[in-house]
Structure 1
């Protein structure tokens, strides 16, 4: 028999995260374009990010129209690395005539690249990226690219730069509780075997 779920955060009622989800308003608008396979994942950090940000939204799919990610009065910026991507630093965008609509592809790196490949209008947007050297707190999921962050971490770092001196680390509170709950559920020994002592093959 399945456990009853919270209709908002979709976690089991016994592990509901809603009390930890903030309600933050900001000048920047965030739109998450989520690959369907990520939407089904139990550790769906993009959902937590959108729930915590007023005016943000999440669109699930593979093919997107301009209406899915564009908004009048906002300058679109795609959060994805690339040769022409500008590194986000405190104060970025303050010289623009309009606020930024931050478009965030969500999924594995392979899925995110596919979303850009099959949506050329999306791939053609001006890009921004996070600075190098950031580390993830996502201790229970292995990234397919070294140094990768979860979506909620990437959004938090991006907003900390775009909205400086404001700080959006409160977005991470439900995420950290989610990770702690996963570690507690699997037990210390299993966590150590699969995550702390995991051997990474030479490439």
Structure 2
């Protein structure tokens, strides 16, 4: 039998998080390039971000038109963008907060999917490598305990956005963390045998 879904947040009614949504306005653009399979994942944190950040933009990686439009925007002013992804030459995002002389990105792009899928996204879209990449040298302990991850230090997409906003733009990420905390708790209560770290 198909689960009833909340018409507002889109999650199953037993996992509805509407009571904990606190919409936030942030001073930068945040764009998610989402793998097609990730869009169907019930554990994805991108829907949480869409609820909390009204200006968030989600680009489906299998939508050639919107990907082309995003590519054109990036190539028009690559210096304004930051790619949140650990690469061989990525810079610590924490360094942007410490160095006031460095120009900070006004738009952040985050690939969304499993580690294998996001690596493929970068391979399929080499224009992404033209953006300065940033990674986390002091990532907080993740509370995203309902999905298998490649390492204990891995963060969900929501946690990654929250860390960037906090470290670089001094935005209080508490509403985002609170929203994910309740989402994880409701998921674990509904499916107690689901994967946990």
TM range (shorter): 0.7 to 0.9
Q: Between Structure 1 and Structure 2, how many residues are aligned?
A: 191
Moved over 4 A (4+): 71-74, 92-99
> Are residues 69 and 106 of structure 1, via their aligned partners in 2, closer, same or farther at CA, if it must alter by over 3 Å?
farther
142-151 or 96-105, larger mean C-alpha shift: 96-105
Look up the match of 2:188.
183
Match of 2:163 among 145, 157, 166: 157
Match of 1:117 among 123, 127, 141: 123
Separation (CA, whole Å) in 1 of partners of 2:72 and 2:53: 16
Establish whether residue 20 from structure 1 lines up as the match of residue 20 from structure 2: yes
> Are residues 110 and 14 of structure 1, via their aligned partners in 2, closer, same or farther at CA, if it must alter by over 3 Å?
closer
Look up the match of 1:174.
179
Q: What is the TM-score with the length of structure 2 in the denominator?
A: 0.84
1:50 is displaced (CA, Å) by 2.7
Residues 1-203 of structure 1: pairs in structure 2 closer than 5 A: 1-62=1-62, 64-67=67-70, 70=73, 75-89=80-94, 91=97, 95=101, 100-164=106-170, 166-187=171-192, 190=193, 195=196
The answer for unaligned runs of 5 or more in structure 1 is 197-203
Deviations 1:125-179 (A, max 9, x none): 1111122453211112110244211110111011101112x31121122211111
Look up the match of 1:200.
none
24-33 or 140-149, larger mean C-alpha shift: 140-149
1:67 is displaced (CA, Å) by 2.5
Separation (CA, whole Å) in 1 of partners of 2:54 and 2:97: 21
Q: What is the TM-score with the length of structure 1 in the denominator?
A: 0.82
Secondary structure (helix, strand or coil) at the match of 2:181 reads: helix
Secondary structure (helix, strand or coil) at the match of 2:134 reads: strand
> Are residues 93 and 20 of structure 1, via their aligned partners in 2, closer, same or farther at CA, if it must alter by over 3 Å?
farther
133-142 or 58-67, larger mean C-alpha shift: 58-67
CA RMSD of aligned residues (A): 2.6
The answer for unaligned runs of 5 or more in structure 2 is none
> Are residues 15 and 144 of structure 1, via their aligned partners in 2, closer, same or farther at CA, if it must alter by over 3 Å?
same
